[in-house]
Amino acid sequence: MTTYTPGIIKETSNGYFSISLMDELMSNREIYCLGEINQESAGALILQLKYLERQDSEKEITMYISSPGGEVSSGFAIYDTMKSVKCPIRTVCMGTAASFGAVLFAAGDTREMLPHSRLMIHDPLIAGNGLTGSAVSLSEKVEDLMKNRQILGGLLAAETGRTIDEIYEKTAKDTWFTAEEAIRFGLADSAIQLKPKKKRKPAGEKERKKVDEELPFK
């Protein structure tokens, strides 16, 4: 399935011009962490954060997150940038923010979730179909993995107000949180309220019969 990102046509005194949808959203200080976190996506987010800080170091930035996570090193780069810019950052979880996506969400100054979105946290994993190499190299990989576990555990403890042991208990396996559960655990601050549903009047017998008659097949 291909995706289409429309351009925006704007009219000025010098005529019409086109800009990308993402540029238009960024002009309103909205940026997006969508999909896998890797070197490319981290670089794009970091540049946007630094640019918006230069534009106004006091005005809030909104970061929308829907991500399964990804590279730990790239995630750390985004996290450190979020914490180093002077602008307050509002994070919004859409759909699912998992692994390092959940860590970035929890790093926001204000953290909001859409009502049906979810978070997932776990210990860092070794990517790949299997481990190969000498005993020394494998030992170094495990040691590095445990260091990242300690760092991530400390970050989540600081962001949630939970103890490190409480964090390790949850990250020992994939632990999922609904918006309500995330708020109780300290990963989120609030859930965004949806518009009230419009009351729909049930169709009467005549209306249902008319619809049935108009159906091309039964």
**Are residues 33 and 41 in contact, defined by beta-carbon separation less than 8 angstroms?**
yes
Amino acid at site 17 = F
Which is the catalytic residue, given 122, 137, 139, 190? Answer: 122
DSSP-H helix ranges across the chain: 21-27, 39-55, 72-84, 100-106, 135-160, 164-171, 179-185, 205-214
Q: How far is residue 205 from each of residues 39, 202, 211, 215, measured CA to CA in Å? A: 59, 10, 10, 16
Which is the catalytic residue, given 41, 67, 74, 99? Answer: 99
Told to judge if 99 belongs to the known catalytic residues of this protein, a careful annotator would answer yes
Told to judge if 116 belongs to the known catalytic residues of this protein, a careful annotator would answer no
Residue in 81, 16, 76, 74 with CA at minimum distance from that of residue 53 = 81
Residue in 116, 98, 141 with CA at minimum distance from that of residue 192 = 116
Catalytic residues: 99, 122
